[in-house]
Amino acid sequence: PGENETKVNLEELKTSVLYSGPVDPAEWVGLRKSYPLLVYLRNNLLMLAILAFEVTIYRHQEYYRCRNNLTTPVTKTIFHDITRAHLDDGLVNCVKYFINYFFYKFGLETCFLLSVNVIGQRMDFYAMIHAFCLIAVLYRRRRKAIAEIWPKYCCFLACIITFQYFLCIGIPPAPCKDYPWRSGNANFNSNIIKWLYFPDFIVRPNPVFLVYDFMLLLCASLQRQTFEDENKAAVRIMAGDNVEICMNLDAASFSQHNPVPDFIHCR
């Protein structure tokens, strides 16, 4: 570029995809010459193997239940004979119960921790958006109120991760056209572009951030399923309910209404 076309210094221009070397248009769509080809396709083959293994397991379970006239379990758990009544029946049963229903009991708290982790790892404009959304969810306070807006929160996470994915891809470098925030009239530097997570040929968006967002989206989707399971009678019988206990109750007098043994105020 000419002197008036950009404010980027020469050292930064050397790291740009447009000026560091020849551009292969096929790489923008994910195609690249590689040898050996098996190394290039190993991740794709691994995903196919995992999917085939999963389908085989599900088909085998379905065939086994049909052959032995067995019903499908209400909950997808490892220990089907462990219920809420076994939680206080020894340490082994307690561990089995939390293996089955840890996310059912503490999934919402796990999502909040993952949201804080996304904010701490990113520290950019989208981290601020995640912080505002977390504050909006926590403002509802009660679990029932949070469950009502949780589908909207999951939709927000799905949309924002899709939008960031397209930002990471950016425009094709083959036409040799730079972004407008790299023009001579734009008052943007590399730090601002990095903080705003703008697509750029010099400071490219960090795609690792999408992994943190994906983990949050995955747990939020599981929590949405948990909110739906909480309204099923069969699940509540097996795993117990997640009904909130009023904070105004006296802990010492509450033991007479609680069917679970009280190890604190038993005296």
Q: Name which of 219, 258, 220 is nearest 241 in CA terms.
A: 258
pLDDT at position 263: 63
Is residue 84 classed exposed, middle or buried when 0-12, 13-18 and 19+ CB atoms within 10 A define those classes?
A: middle
Is residue 244 classed exposed, middle or buried when 0-12, 13-18 and 19+ CB atoms within 10 A define those classes?
A: exposed
pLDDT at position 252: 60
Q: How far apart are CA 246 and CA 254, in angstroms?
A: 10
Pair 238, 74: CB distance under 8 Å: yes
pLDDT at position 10: 72
Tokens of 261: 């043994």
For the chain, the DSSP string reads --TTT----HHHHTTSTTTSS---GGGGGT----SSHHHHHHHHHHHHHHHHHHHHHHHHHHHHHHHTTPPPPSS--S-TT--GGGTTS-HHHHHHHHHHHHHHHHHHHHHHHHHHHHHHHH-SHHHHHHHHHHHHHHHT-SHHHHHHHHHHHHHHHHHHHHHHHHHHH-S-STT----GGGSTT----HHHHHHHT---SSS---THHHHHHHHHHHHHHHHHHHHHHTT-HHHHHHH---PPPPTTS-HHHHTTT-SS--SSS--
Q: How far apart are CA 122 and CA 206, in angstroms?
A: 9
Q: How far apart are CA 164 and CA 186, in angstroms?
A: 22
For 92-132, the DSSP string reads HHHHHHHHHHHHHHHHHHHHHHHHHHHHHHH-SHHHHHHHH
Pair 174, 2: CB distance under 8 Å: no
Those residues with Cβ within 8 angstroms of residue 129's Cβ, 6 or more apart along the chain or in another chain? 160
Which stretches of the chain score pLDDT less than 70? 1-7, 184, 245-267
pLDDT at position 5: 59
Pair 226, 107: CB distance under 8 Å: yes
